[in-house]
Amino acid sequence: MGYDATFRVWRGDASGGDLQTFTVEVNEGEVVLDIVHRLQATQAGDLAVRWNCKAGKCGSCSAEVNGRPRLMCLTRMSTFAEDEPVTLTPLRTFPVIRDLVTDVSYNYEKAAQIPALVPRPREADGSHRMQQVDVERSQEFRKCIECWLCQDTCHVIRDHEENKRSFAGPGFLIRLAELDMHPLDVADRRDAAQEEFGLGLCNITKCCSEVCPEGIHLTDNGIIPLKERVADRRYDPLTWLGSKIGRR
Ligand code: F3S
Ligand code: FES
């Protein structure tokens, strides 16, 4: 059975904006993105929204639904009571372009800074052999759809614009972790993780893992193991002694 819902949608641009209230029809089985499309078709033809697949795979339709970072195409209307107003706002961590569309270039800038894979030389027979268990360890991180909900929710940059320069964000700390555990990679990214990408600023609140639509355990399986590897190196007395002798 259909019903009428109250939607409050942020409308505006970089110079400012406000919530606009709409009453809009909702039908059984619909998701928030369906309602946004209905608003565009019936009441707000110029409402700006980014989307593409409507299947939770392209990572485009990220927004904040009642204050929580979510993919609009995966958020069922049945999540909310019929008389509960649904508030849609753009991702708070990134600059607004218009309405629900934000400028997420910060993420692409950070992506470009991550040092690439440095593979060890091939075996004598020309192959690159890896153990299946080593391959599988980092496979989870490859599920990332680049929706940037983890980046949006992390308090290190959400409320602190000044941290953006020195913090890559959870989405790229797991990229570093993934490379670090790659069985073919020989580069050592531990110093860079700490000093250039702000690993130490993460205080393991795990909010990034909670909002990931792919269910990636960013903190437990990526960030914490990377922190442990950095700590091992820094506080291992033999490594410390080696670095001192090496410097002479
Ligand atoms: Fe931020 Fe995730 Fe760490 S939300 S503080 S990167 S555990
Ligand atoms: Fe592609 Fe939502 S439209 S993830």
b/e sequence 140-159, b meaning 16+ C-beta within 10 Å: bbeebbebbbbbbbbebbbe
Mean of per-residue pLDDT scores for the chain: 94
The reported pLDDT for the residue numbered 1 is: 80
Tell me the pLDDT band of 239, cut-offs 50, 70 and 90: low
Looking at the predicted structure, is the pLDDT value of residue 248 above 60?
no
Instruction: Please give the residue that has the higher pLDDT: either 132 or 240.
Output: 132
Substitution site in 32, 65, 70, 71 for ligand 2 pocket (most atoms within 8 Å of beta carbon): 71
Both tokens assigned to 204: 């393991």
Beta bridge partners of 101: 98
Cβ atoms within 10 Å, residue 26: 21
Tell me the pLDDT band of 17, cut-offs 50, 70 and 90: very high
Decide if the complex's ipTM is over 0.90: yes
Distances (CA, A) of 19 to 12, 14, 146, 196, 207: 9, 14, 27, 38, 26
Mean pLDDT of 125-139: 93
Amino acid at 79: T
223 touches ligand 1 (CB under 6 Å): yes
Residue 172 class from Cβ within 10 Å (0-12 exposed, 13-18 middle, 19+ buried)? buried
For 104-128, write each residue's pLDDT tens digit: 999 999 999 999 999 999 999 999 9
Q: How far is the CA of 170 from the centre of ligand 1 (A)?
A: 6
Instruction: Please give the residue that has the higher pLDDT: either 82 or 235.
Output: 82
